[in-house]
């Protein structure tokens, strides 16, 4: 399994990183780093999904971006080796190729191509954060839930993934009972199926139709920037 961002680099740039990469697994709910911490690792997911969370209080936080095998985590929160501005939590378990921030910094300094690839990725991430902020403020919860499930589905590489009602409520910043009600609406239309601790996407096309325009807008930005776009297997 590949990280799409590394795969998009040319041979010389991939060789700068590959000798220094070590695979690390992450479990669902694992915190890769917290807001305020100095981040000394760069994570290139091979599978799974990591959410960047803005923490308002210990029991109140909201997701501002989701990153999977199309991107990287750890240098996206500010200048190299700065303290993280958000909390990174694994949303769907998986693994990542990791290297130290210093190694990545050195590789970037040597390679204009890698700097361009990173700036395109951070631009698409910034667009995702902006779109998510607008979506959270303006769109109906059923549309937001559909948009968020599509984002995970594209990165999960499976139609069924581990997710509890509590996970969903936490990500969308709403009460569990509300999520349960809205989830039942999508299930009633046969777009998804839910079980204890998992969600399965049944009708991808209809789920796209049920989502707000934010999902398509984000795909459009990624296409325009020419960054790798993850896609669900049957999408």
Q: Which residues bind Zn ion (CB under 5 A)?
A: 135, 139, 212, 214
CB of 2 to Zn ion, least distance (A): 30
DSSP 56: E
Taking the complex as a whole, the smallest distance from the CB of residue 51 to Zn ion amounts, in Å, to: 17
- Between CA 90 and CA 209 the distance in angstroms is 27
Which is closer to Zn ion, CB of 147 or CB of 204? Answer: 147
Tell me whether strands 160-162 and 87-92 are parallel, antiparallel or unpaired: unpaired
Strand partners, 100: 41
Torsion, Cα 51 92 67 107, to 10 degrees, reads 110
- Least gap, CB of 125 to Zn ion (angstroms): 17
What minimum distance in Å lies between the beta carbon of 149 and Zn ion? 13
Between 121 and 148, name the residue whose CB sits nearer to Zn ion. Answer: 148
Smallest gap from residue 211 Cβ to Zn ion (A): 7
CB closer to Zn ion out of 135 and 227? 135
Is residue 212 within 8 A of residue 140, CB to CB? The reply is: yes
At its nearest, how many Å lie between Zn ion and the CB of residue 134? 7
**Taking a C-beta distance cutoff of 8 angstroms, is the pair 65, 29 a contact?**
no
Whether residue 116 contacts residue 95, with contact meaning beta carbons closer than 8 Å, is answered with: no
Residue among 139 and 219 whose Cβ is closer to Zn ion: 139
Residue nearer to Zn ion on the CB measure, 199 or 218: 218
Burial string for 99-119 (b: 16+ CB within 10 Å, else e) reads bebebbeebbeebeebeebbe
CA atoms within 13 A on the CB side of 107: 25
For 225, the token pair is 């920037």
Of 90 and 135, which has the nearer Cβ to Zn ion?
Answer: 135
């Amino acid at each position: 399994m590949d990280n799409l961002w590394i795969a998009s680099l040319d041979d010389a740039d991939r060789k700068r990183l590959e000798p220094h990469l070590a695979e690390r697994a992450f479990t669902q709910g694992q915190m890769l780093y917290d807001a305020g911490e100095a981040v000394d690792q760069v994570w290139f997911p091979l599978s799974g999904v990591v959410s960047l969370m803005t923490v308002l209080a210990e029991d109140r936080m909201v997701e501002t971006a989701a990153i999977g095998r199309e991107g990287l985590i750890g240098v996206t929160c500010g200048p190299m080796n700065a303290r993280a501005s958000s909390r990174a939590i694994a949303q769907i378990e998986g693994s990542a190729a990791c290297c130290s921030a210093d190694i990545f910094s050195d590789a970037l300094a040597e390679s204009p191509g890698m700097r361009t690839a990173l700036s395109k990725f951070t631009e698409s991430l910034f667009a995702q954060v902006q779109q998510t902020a607008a979506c959270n403020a303006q769109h109906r919860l059923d549309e937001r839930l559909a948009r968020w499930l599509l984002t995970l589905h594209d990165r999960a590489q499976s139609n069924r993934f581990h997710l509890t009602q509590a996970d969903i409520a936490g990500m969308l910043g709403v009460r569990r009972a509300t999520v349960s009600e809205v989830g039942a609406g999508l299930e009633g239309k046969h777009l998804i199926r839910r079980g204890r601790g998992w969600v399965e996407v049944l009708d991808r096309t209809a789920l796209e139709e049920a989502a707000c325009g934010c999902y398509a807008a984000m795909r459009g930005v990624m296409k325009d920037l020419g960054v790798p776009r993850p896609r669900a297997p049957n999408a």
